[in-house]
Structure 1
Amino acid sequence: MHGYATRETREFLPRPYVIAQHLVRKLDQLRVNDPAFFWMKPHAKVTVVSSKHKITQVTILLDHASDIPANEVLRLCLERVIEPIMGDISGLEVRVNPYGAFRGGEFVTGSGSTGRKTAQDTYGGLIPHGVSAICGKSPCLPDRSGVYMARFVAKDLVRSGVADNVLVNVGYTGGREEPTFLQAQSGDGKNLSGLLGVYDFRPSAIIERLDLRRPIYQRTASYGHFGDEQFPWERRETLQMTGVEGTTAMVDSVAGPVTSHPHSTSSPARKAAGVRWGTPASCHPL
């Protein structure tokens, strides 16, 4: 499982992915609220291409009624979606349904046990991601809780000023709750793994800390799992972390573990590191 955060945007996500999120949200808002978009169906795909920190291409695939002309679809998308978000689009290659009307984007062709692509749910394929889908998985499985915790920790470290971007990698194996692999690295190659000791990556502790047993997952069905501060793995509650390789960091906490585990908040190692926690959040059944 992988978690990533960057100072590139206020969402702590890669800029092309954030732009794609904004474009999809705008399309959905217009479909629901604007009569001019009566022809649009509830399925769209957006691809944003970046080269050398510059957005070079935007592609939009829309499922829509058959009686709307293609040039009208392009005009409305440019005027009401792309230009308001992108601003000056000179030099930007824009494609809207480049192969003709986008058809069959509903359950007939999109159903399956995996659900939406993991790349779309996480970082848009710009950052490594696991092979297991997140949507539909129980938070009791590290496939889901581990991904959320890795993102939570990466975002904490970037917010703290440790690095401008951080990638956290965590691996698990059957029959063992502790991760078998745990690593953090900055974009310039600095090893930040020594800062991970104050975090508890056991799935049971992650569920407790992020309060993952609540029915909060309907919102993850669209626009991805990251960037929305309503999700507990995206929120910030500040506590002071000191004494780790001479680093002082402001770490976000939603809830603290309640057991005296070697990686729990009540362990002597964490107390020595100066970590302070709030009251653990209550845990509700799914």
Structure 2
Amino acid sequence: MVENPFFSQFNQELKMNPSRSSSSGKTFLFTSESVGEGHADKMCDQISDAVLDAYLKEDPDSRVACECVTKTGMVLLVGEVTSKAQVDLQRVVRKTVASIGYDDSSKGGRGRWLSTTRPATCWWRWSPSVPRSPDCVFEGRDQEDIGAGDQTEECMPLTILLAHKLNYRMKELSRSGECPWILPDSKSQVTVEYRDNMGAMEPLRVHTVVLSVQHSPDISLEDIRHQLMEKVVKVVVPAKYLDEKTIYHLLPSGKFLLGGPQSDAGLTGRKIIVDTYGGWGGHGGGAFSGKDYSKVDRSGAYAARWVAKSLVKAGLCRRALVQISYAISVSHPLSISVFHYGTSSRDEDELLQIVQKNFDLRPGVIVKELGLKRPIYQSTACYGHFGREEFPWEKPKSLLF
């Protein structure tokens, strides 16, 4: 089996500095959740980004804002677009729904859902009053707060990293046919016990794992729980984090037959914490999916992640929060702030100077440096936008300091 790049560095050891001792020895619990591709909200995120990609494939200068709503047998797209591209939206929706797994009538209600899906649209041309200069911010937000830390090689909090990988593993088992009883909808939740080591959050052990997965009716609860433990938990979670006190809630509801839009309404942009850091760090408030690179909700957040990860990978700090503030039609950031939580030998003003020396954070420049005109967005819409090496904002920049 070819290893997916998402897992390429997962089994590497955490980068710890043994010379540091905890200032207080304080420990605490922190929890993050993730959802699978078939979750109704995540389905909408993927559809919105599939629409965006379809426009960018034909016209890289497309301006797209696509929101999606779904419930049993219905998908509604609403938004605005300015593009030379001609896109068959119904085809994009149906293809995306099928790729998620709602494609086969032999697997519960999924095939019936796909065959009766009615994509509808409410689509408008973009307002001519919105400026078009590539160096302008097209749609502003007050701030983008994005961080990085050395809990893992990917510079992601262990809680959200494990939560994503548990969902990914379940989907992998389903797609490969090894566990055909696994259906598209799923949710994971991971609680980790941490120690605060002079501002750096060091994971000690996994306290609790919760897995819920939609399943076919022809498998027993006992078998589901056994396979989730042996083929998912023990494969994904490094053994060093599991002990006799770790708590497991595997399909705690006892049954999960109906999932996705059959059981819940879905909406783009309702999983913004899942998309980022699982509750760690900050968030500017805006969702990512369905928005092209000209919206700093998305491009600004990607740039902030790039900056923060570059600082950590350069050894300038063990943990960083980077805040960038933009305003509509203003080409330069209104403000840039860097916080290192006491994990650096340099003060925060020095780190800010390094950032300003090494990064041009104008939106027009971000688009070019990170290649954000490419149709790469559907792949970001599940399992997190950060911590995945295939994305350009995850490749640290070599810093001059």
Same fold by TM (over 0.5)? yes
Aligned: 1:225 with 2:382: no
2:209·2:247 contact (CA, 8 Å) conserved in 1? yes
Aligned: 1:85 with 2:236: yes
Aligned: 1:44 with 2:186: yes
CA shift at 1:14, angstroms? 0.9
CA-to-partner distance for each residue in 1:72-107, whole Å, 9 max, x for gaps?
111110111112233244211111221232354313
Aligned: 1:193 with 2:352: yes
Q: Distance in 1 between matches of 2:393 and 2:162?
A: 21
Instruction: Give the one of 210, 219, 227 matched to 1:59.
Output: 210
Aligned: 1:69 with 2:224: no
Partner in structure 1 of residue 267 of structure 2:
112
CA shift at 1:11, angstroms? 0.5
Partner in structure 1 of residue 163 of structure 2:
20
Partner in structure 1 of residue 293 of structure 2:
139
Instruction: Give the one of 283, 292, 295 matched to 1:129.
Output: 283
1:63·1:105 contact (CA, 8 Å) conserved in 2? yes
With over 3 angstroms needed to count, the CA separation of the structure-2 counterparts of 1:130 and 1:70, relative to structure 1, is farther
* RMSD of aligned residue pairs (Cα, Å): 1.8
Which residue identity does 2:187 align to in structure 1?
Answer: K
Which residue identity does 1:50 align to in structure 2?
Answer: V
CA shift at 1:131, angstroms? 1.6
Partner in structure 2 of residue 3 of structure 1:
146
CA-to-partner distance for each residue in 1:178-235, whole Å, 9 max, x for gaps?
2222101112174232222121222111101101000111211221111111111112
Which residue identity does 2:225 align to in structure 1?
Answer: L
1:172·1:179 contact (CA, 8 Å) conserved in 2? yes
Instruction: Give the one of 360, 365, 373 matched to 1:213.
Output: 373
Aligned residue-pair number: 239
CA-to-partner distance for each residue in 1:225-275, whole Å, 9 max, x for gaps?
111111111124x54513xxxxxxxxxxxxxxxxxxxxxxxxxxxxxxxxx
2:314·2:399 contact (CA, 8 Å) conserved in 1? no
Q: Distance in 2 between matches of 1:172 and 1:128?
A: 16
With over 3 angstroms needed to count, the CA separation of the structure-2 counterparts of 1:105 and 1:133, relative to structure 1, is farther
Between the two proteins, what is the percent identity of the paired residues?
Answer: 31
Relative contact order higher in (CA < 8 Å, ≥ 6 apart):
2
CA-to-partner distance for each residue in 1:88-130, whole Å, 9 max, x for gaps?
442111112212323543134242242x501111111222222
TM-score calculated relative to the size of structure 1:
0.78
Which has the larger displacement, 85-94 or 116-125?
85-94
1:24·1:223 contact (CA, 8 Å) conserved in 2? yes
Which residue identity does 2:192 align to in structure 1?
Answer: S
1:83·1:89 contact (CA, 8 Å) conserved in 2? no
CA-to-partner distance for each residue in 1:143-164, whole Å, 9 max, x for gaps?
0000000000000001111101
Q: Distance in 2 between matches of 1:227 and 1:166?
A: 15
CA shift at 1:51, angstroms? 2.2
Aligned: 1:171 with 2:171: no
Which residue identity does 2:375 align to in structure 1?
Answer: P
TM-score calculated relative to the size of structure 2:
0.57
Q: Distance in 2 between matches of 1:186 and 1:81?
A: 35
1:3·1:152 contact (CA, 8 Å) conserved in 2? no
Q: Distance in 2 between matches of 1:9 and 1:15?
A: 7
2:156·2:387 contact (CA, 8 Å) conserved in 1? yes
